[in-house]
Amino acid sequence: MVEDKFFVRINNAEEIKKNLLALSKDTILAMKRFHNLKKIRQEKNSCTQHVSKLFKEIENICQTMDFSAPEFGIGVEKTQNQEHKEEREEIKEYKQQKMDDKSKESYSTNEKIDDGDEYEEQLKRIEQSASEIEKKLRELV
């Protein structure tokens, strides 16, 4: 008759125990790395949300600056060199128009157009608008 065996002998039991412990150690290390990765992803998501909020605030501030800029036409995104170049071009165009108007008029009129005074007036308006912008920037900061 065949006897039922309740115990099966394992050859190299010590080696199998070592392998089993090594595998469980590897799985624990993999789980730790996974949790670290998960934590890093959460931090990344929170940082990106924070940065997006900051960009929205900056965009809102820029929009309010655009609305509150003086009517002279100085844009927030323009640099001073660009502004000066545009102003010089406008002045040149204005002077050219005056010269063309003068040549069209008869020479009998004794009116003289003083371009220097108009240039000074424009310069004063520019300085006033620049000071207004500086005040508004100080209020925002």
Contact (Cβ atoms closer than 8 angstroms) between residue 126 and residue 72: yes
- At residue 129, the pLDDT reads 81
Tokens of 25: 């150690």
Residues shown for the chain: 141
- Alpha carbon distance 134, 125 (integer Å): 14
Beta-carbon contacts of residue 91 (< 8 Å; ≥ 6 apart) = 119, 122
Q: Supply the DSSP string of 59-80, one letter for each residue.
A: HHHHHHHHHHS-TT---TT--H
Q: What is the pLDDT of residues 70-107, one digit of tens each?
A: 555 545 555 556 667 777 788 778 777 777 776 665 44
* Per-residue pLDDT band at 69 (split at 50, 70, 90): low
Q: Domain boundaries in the chain? A: 13-68, 73-101+118-141
Tokens of 44: 């990344």
Percent of the chain scoring above 90 in pLDDT: 28
Q: Is 107 helix (H, G, I), strand (E, B) or coil?
A: coil
Q: What is the reported pTM?
A: 0.37
CA distances from 110 to 100, 118, 119 (A): 16, 19, 21
